[in-house]
Amino acid sequence: MTAPSGATRGSWATRAGFLLAAVGSAVGLGNMWRFAYKASEGGGAAFVVVYLLIVALVGVPLMTSEFIVGRLAQESPARAVRRLGGPAWTPLGWLFVFCGVGILAYYSVIAGWTMRYAIDAIRNSIPSDTGAYFAEVSQGPDAALYHLVFMVLTTVVVAGGVKGGLERANLIMMPLLFLILVGLAIWATTLPNGGSGYAYYLRPDPAKIFSADVLTAAAGQSFFSLSLGMGALMTYASYLKSQENLAREALTVALSDFGVAFVAGLIVFPVIFNFGLLDRVGESTVGALFIALPAGFDQLGRTGDYVDTAFFVMLLFAALTSAISLLEVVVAALVDGARMRRRDAAIAAGFAITILGLPAAFNTTFLGNLDAFVGQFLLIVGGLCTAFLVGYRILPQADAELARGLDNVGLRRFWAWLVRYVAPVVLIVVLGFLAKPTWQAVVGLVTYAR
Residue closer to ligand TRP, measured from CB, 30 or 194: 30
Terminal C-alpha separation, the chain: 48
Q: Which of residues 73-132 bind ligand TRP (CB under 6 A)?
A: 103
Q: From residue 234, give the alpha-carbon distance in Å to each of 96, 155, 190, 227.
A: 10, 20, 41, 10
Q: Is 357 in the site for ligand TRP (CB under 6 A)?
A: no
Smaller CB distance to ligand TRP: residue 130 or 376? 376
Whole-number CA gyration radius for the chain? 21
Picking from 97, 64, 126, 391, the residue whose alpha carbon sits closest to that of residue 230 is 97
Q: Name the residue among 25, 23, 21, 24 with its Cα closest to residue 10.
A: 21
Question: Which amino acid, residue 373?
Answer: F
Nearer to ligand TRP, 309 or 322 (CB): 322
CA angle 255–17–13, rounded 5-degree value: 150
H or E, element range at 136? helix 130-138
Q: Which is nearer to ligand TRP, 227 or 274 (CB)?
A: 227
Assess 225 for contact with ligand TRP (CB under 6 A). yes
DSSP-derived letter for residue 139 is S
The DSSP 8-state label assigned to residue 289 in this structure reads: I
DSSP tag of 228: -
Q: Which of 10, 28, 160, 368 binds ligand TRP (CB under 6 A)?
A: 28
Query: Smaller CB distance to ligand TRP: residue 181 or 326?
Result: 326
Nearer CB in complex with ligand TRP: 73/323: 323
Indicate left, alpha or beta for 4 from its phi (over 0: left) and psi (-120 to 50: alpha). Answer: beta
By CB under 6 A, is residue 26 in contact with ligand TRP? yes
Binding mask 274-313 for ligand TRP (x = CB under 6 A): ----------------------------------------
Please provide the size of the chain in residues: 450
Please pick, from the candidates 76, 138, 227, 238, the single residue that binds ligand TRP as defined by CB under 6 A. 227
Kindly tell me the sign of the dihedral angle through the C-alpha atoms of 410, 411, 415, 416: negative
User: Which part of the chain contacts ligand TRP (CB under 6 A), choosing from 66-74, 198-206, 226-234, 242-250?
Assistant: 226-234
| Interface residue with ligand TRP, options 9, 10, 21, 31 (CB under 6 A) | 31
Cβ contact 55:222 at 8 Å: yes
Give the residue with the Cβ less far from ligand TRP, 63 or 295: 63
Characterize 178-195 residue by residue with b for buried, 16 or more Cβ atoms within 10 angstroms of its Cβ, and e for exposed. Answer: bebbeebbebbeebeebe
From 274, 325, 354, 438, residue interacting with ligand TRP (rule: CB under 6 A): 325
Residue 326 engages ligand TRP in binding (rule: CB under 6 A): yes
Chosen residue from 20, 23, 29, 314 binding ligand TRP by CB under 6 A: 29
Q: Going residue by residue from 170 to 209, which x/- string records binding to ligand TRP, judged by CB under 6 A?
A: ----------------------------------------
Enumerate binding residues for ligand TRP (CB under 6 A).
25-26, 28-31, 103, 224-225, 227, 230, 232, 322, 325-326, 379
